[in-house]
A = this chain, B = another copy of it.
Amino acid sequence: MQRSLTIALDMMGGDYGPRSSIPAAVEAVHLHPTLTLILCGNEQLLQEQLSQLDALQHPRLKIQHCTQIVTNADEPASALRNKKDASMRIALDLVKQGKAQACVSSGNTGALFAMAHYVLKMLPGIKRPALISSVPTETKKPVYLLDLGANVHCDAHTLYQFGIMGSVVARESQDIEHPRVSLLNIGSEDIKGHEGIKEAAQMMQKNPALNYTGYSEGSDIFSGKSDVIVCEGFVGNVALKTCEGIAKLIMHKMTRALKKHLLYRGLALILMPVIKKIYKKVNPDQYNGASLVGLRGIVVKSHGNASASAFLAAINEAVREVQRQLPEKIQTAFAEHEPMQDAS
């Protein structure tokens, strides 16, 4: 049933490089029988890690040797100019050349964003790409948050376009016919408001193809009232990372409370797995990949601190996006529903 597909992986990114990306890749080809992975990175390092897992001869794991690595210290502009043989860049080039249908990286976000933008280009009519990810809610369906940091500030039209892109992602991923889209705002709208958000709200309201449901506050993100929540990259990044921080804090306090009393110590053994599972669920930044949408290609960003299982989750996300033909669906939505396409 599954069509054969090829994904390019930047193996050298993140805090652990091949130590987490190789086990993830090996597991991914095991899970997906029609998946071929092109492993971009230092050939020798990759071979060493592969042979440790007895996977050196795997027919669907192909090494693409690269001489450079993008580090977290690299400025995006300089990485773009000087690191044309970096694993990150080569993985993107493979998508551009049609040799891979998607790429996954856990490397320097800024550099990945600049390179992806430069190599893959925007879909017609879309102003800016956005980083999108889902977070869990009190209901069974997650909510999609964008932008998570690709654009520090966004004008009204960009926020409006993010609403359309988010709506397509939620529709395709969660099988929701008319995803409820809202804009993140602060409680007291009456305090001197944020003009860009008010203008974006008007644009969303005017588009009958978009199911715009009004403003959300930070406290509403996880309620399940919205399928898509749109905000500027700075705000989205802070919100997502704050989740990570508070989840860590709750884990910390909980563990301490459980260890404090002798009675609880026994319970802790039973309860810690439950708590850890919840922690993982509410710690989306660590757990899921985030996707860069709006480009002529699929790019999934895994957390810099990604474990093998988190990197695997990002590969799985890339597989799903290829199967859903996400860029094509976004392009169709813009062609049909973006009345202001030519005005931008």
Q: Which residues does A use to contact B, with CB under 8 Å?
A: 74-76, 108-111, 113, 136-138, 149-153, 184, 186-194, 217-223, 231, 233-235, 237-250, 252-254, 257-258, 263-264, 267, 270-271, 274-275, 277-278, 281-282, 285, 304
Contacts and interface: CB of A to CB of B under 8 A. Distances in A.
- State the main secondary structure of chain A at its contact with B: helix
Given A235-B235, A238-B239, A218 B244 contact: yes
Nearest to A184: B238
A188 B245 contact: no
Given A222-B249, A257-B274, 5 more contacts: A111-B190, A149-B188, A218-B242, A221-B246, A254-B275
A96 to B, nearest CB: 22
Nearest to A109: B188
Contacts of A250: 247, 250, 278, 282
Nearest to A73: B190
B267 A137 contact: no
A277 B258 CA distance: 13
Contacts of A109: 187-188, 191
A191 B254 contact: no
17 contacts: A75-B190, A76-B191, A108-B190, A110-B189, A149-B191, A151-B192, A153-B194, A186-B234, A187-B237, A218-B237, A218-B239, A239-B242, A253-B282, A254-B278, A257-B274, A258-B274, A264-B271
Contact of A222 (B136, B246, B267, B282): B246
Given A218-B237, A234-B194, A241-B217, A246 B152 contact: no
Nearest to A257: B274
Contact of A246 (B194, B246, B267, B304): B246
Nearest to A252: B138
Nearest to A285: B219
A237 B110 contact: no
Given A76-B191, A253-B278, A253-B282, A186 B242 contact: no
A241 B254 contact: no
Contacts of A277: 257
B243 A257 contact: no
